A = this chain, B = another copy of it.
Amino acid sequence: MALKGVIFDIDDVLYDGTSQARTSRRAALDAMIAEGLEMSLEQAEAELDGIVEKYGSNYSDHFGVLVRGHTREPVNKVVSAGVVAYHNTKMGMRPFPDARKTLKELSRRGLKLGVVSNGRGVKQWEKLIRLGLEDFFDAVVISEEEGSEKPDPGLFVKAAGKLDLKPDECAYVGDKPHTDIAGANRAGMTSIRMLKGRFKETKPQSKEEEADLTINRLSELLDVIE
């Protein structure tokens, strides 16, 4: 396969987003329970799931909703303990062990690199920066900044354009069939599915969600892209 560009998803592709999210959440709940949230860890996890479901993931006061009515301590004390613990775990964010090596080698081979990701602009950039990967990419397209989300093929086409390439000259590496693979396929890119994280076992629901290629780790890109 002769490609000129490789475009990446962030979560569960460049780093282990599923584990990081679990670790951060667990640390926050442990800290809140230690400061006086009167719930078991299991209860708190279930409640928080419900709250995120109900208010959406971009809501800014999940912990407040969780804590109010379930502590004899000041609510802000308990919430702040959770926020601090949550943020502290971000110091441990690291790319997948082979990510930097793979990006460097693809770049050395003359391939242009980009990112297409669903999420908030500053949050997704924060991840790239904490991972120390921000300088590898000549095009970073984030859904919030574009006003549409994957699987909209427009995001993929835009990223290719920013790399001065046509979509069919690019591969897209993602983990989620419904957004990543379907979107890349619709845009006419070579779709590469990485089997990591919480969507690892998810079956394609249609022809469009079937990837051209499948990898288990990023370094395998070095074999499939020549």
Contact surface of A with B, Cβ cutoff 8 Å: 35, 74, 76-77, 79-81, 83-84, 87-88, 90-91, 121-122, 124-126, 128-130, 134, 140, 142, 145
Contacts and interface: CB of A to CB of B under 8 A. Distances in A.
B84 A134 contact: no
Contact of A76 (B76, B90, B125): B125
B83 A35 contact: no
Contacts of A81: 125, 129, 134
A195 to B, nearest CB: 29
A42 to B, nearest CB: 24
A140 B74 contact: yes
A11 to B, nearest CB: 16
16 contacts: A35-B129, A74-B140, A76-B122, A76-B125, A77-B125, A79-B122, A79-B125, A80-B128, A80-B129, A81-B125, A81-B134, A83-B122, A84-B126, A87-B90, A88-B91, A91-B91
Chain A interface, >50% SS class: helix
Given A88-B91, A91-B91, A122-B83, A77 B140 contact: yes
Nearest to A78: B125
Nearest to A64: B122
Contacts of A35: 129, 134
Contacts of A130: 84
A47 to B, nearest CB: 19
Nearest to A84: B129
Contacts of A88: 91
A36 to B, nearest CB: 10
